[in-house]
Structure 1
Amino acid sequence: MKKHLLILFLLFFSVSCESSNQPRSCKENLYWKNLSEVQKMAVLDSSEIDKYAMSYYQGCFKPSDDSLTLNLLEELTNERASCHAKAFYFHLFNQICMKADGALSEMLGVYCQRIMLNSSVYVLGYFQRNKNVEQIYANLIGYELYFKEEGTSMIKYNYVDFKSILNKRIGGDKVYEKILSDFFHLINVALKNMD
């Protein structure tokens, strides 16, 4: 009987941790590609997943510069998602960033900054393995930061504040300091190219 209670407690505890909205409860390397097929199917079958996110995943929704896409981007970059849903949303967001051009790409820098600030270590860990995504984020954020200085961007933080917040979020971790330094270098290059 005690053994059954212990198993039930552990199962309840793991489910409680899984549904926690605290970013620290998620494993740093819990990315979509690291999930098993069973875990992916559980996420895809979850009522937690936004219908437009699912529609995009299934190839039935094409993001553009419209209100439905803005709603999708808001959902993909929120910090309320469970760990597995977060992995799915991050995967979708990165796909959108990689494929975007024109007016859509001009909207994404704000959301790149948002997701980086909401999940700094998570995103930087991904950059360590995915330099193409890192480059795209740097370009998109750099574009917005350039126009922030001109007073024509809605990005929340200017470059100085953005750097300060990210440095605080990584808390002196040497691995992330290196990744962040490389990322800031890429932003500097993007800003220089805007001149």
Structure 2
Amino acid sequence: MRFLIAYFFLFLSGNILSQNIGVINDKDGYTNIRKESTVNSNIIGVILEGQTFQYSPSENKNWYKLNFNHLEGFIHSSRVSDIKSLGKSYKFSDNQIDKNLPKYEQPTIDSNRNKKFTRQIDGKPITYFLNHTSIDIYSKMYYQGIYQISDSEITFNLLDSVTTDNIDTRKFYLFNFSNILQESDGALSEAIGSYCLNYLKKYPLEVNLLKTKLYQDNSYEKFISFSAFEIYFSENPYEELDNLFNDIMYNYSEYEQELLFIKKDIFTILKTELKNN
């Protein structure tokens, strides 16, 4: 019996020691994780400089298969440095995701979900935000593809972040918010409308940013639909819509024409829903 236990631990330790552990080697400070071993495959996540991951050879010799915090995909071999080859002098960056990581129940990650990644936001490289000390770790994890949204307090906090007063980080939160708009379904889709309205009330002039090419093509339409859906369930939807924009225009009277277009878009969807139901 003691022999079997000893053999088991030798076998286990041998497997652990034989695993390839790598870090990225990329001048941009991050590398994309692809769904398949080709540059034309969908990006499903990113790895930052200093973050470690397990990797192994794939059928395509130019690509490695990797496992990074429950996220499985492919990374180009030219972007990988093995830990063993770096020696003891290698120093990890402070941005390792698994460093002091809060505990949460990791859902199954769907690599087919409709999500967008970007090289920069508002003229700043994406690594600026992913290393920003004022941005919470779950927002970074969501962007990187290693946290999946659900009907949970963590996700609701991600949504609430878009109304931050910090103008330096708000564009990053809005980018995440636009991706969540695409992915929301079930119970989460029923809750997201209130966060859309909160953002509209606080930063009405920024809503049109969702029309720009930085965000997915239908981000603005999704935002308008969720907003209309939330108003639909009020006691008097048309009155609720009028009161909402009266309050907004009181503070932004010089932008009345621009805001009326947003109101009209919400009204159009609201009218259709009320007519059909």
- Normalised by the length of structure 1, the TM-score is 0.67
SS of structure 1 residue aligned to 2:164: coil
Offset of residue 178 of structure 1: 5.2
Identity percentage of aligned residues: 22
> Secondary structure in 2 aligned to 1:149?
coil
Given the alignment, which residue of 83, 97, 122 partners 1:35?
122
Q: Which amino acid aligns with 2:206?
A: Y
Equivalent residue number for residue 64 of structure 1:
150
The Cα shift of 1:188 comes to: 2.6
Question: Following TM superposition, by how much is the alpha carbon of 1:174 offset from its aligned partner in structure 2, in angstroms?
Answer: 5.9
1:188 counterpart letter in structure 2: L
- Structure 1 regions of 5+ residues with no counterpart? 1-31, 152-156
Secondary structure of the corresponding residue to residue 158 of structure 1: helix
Larger radius of gyration: 2
Q: Which residue of 1 aligns with 2:203?
A: 119
Selected match of 2:171 from 81, 84, 87: 87
SS in 2 for 1:49: coil
Instruction: Give yes or no for contact 1:120–1:169 (8 Å, CA) kept in 2.
Output: no
Aligned counterpart in structure 1 of residue 231 of structure 2, from 135, 145, 158? 145
The CA distance in 1 between the partners of 2:209 and 2:234, in whole Å, is: 27
Q: Does 1:158 align with 2:240?
A: yes
Aligned to 1:103: 187
Structure 2 unaligned blocks of 5 or more: 1-118
1:180 aligns with 2:267: no
Moved over 4 A (4+): 128-131
Change (3 A) 1:125 1:94: closer
| Structure with more of its chain in strand, by fraction | 2
CA contact (8 A) 2:129 2:135 kept: yes
Give the C-alpha shift of residue 194 in structure 1.
5.8
Instruction: Tell me if the contact between 2:141 and 2:147 (Cα under 8 Å) persists in the aligned partners.
Output: yes
Number of equivalent positions: 157
SS at match of 1:61: coil
CA 1:193–1:109 in structure 2 vs 1: closer, same or farther (change >3 Å)?
Answer: farther
Contact 1:142/1:190 (8 A) holds in 2? no
Q: Residues 86 and 56 of structure 1: is their aligned pair in 2 closer, same or farther, counting only changes over 3 Å?
A: same
Q: CA RMSD in A?
A: 3.0
**Offset of residue 128 of structure 1:** 6.9
CA distance, structure 1, for counterparts of residue 178 and residue 248 of structure 2: 19
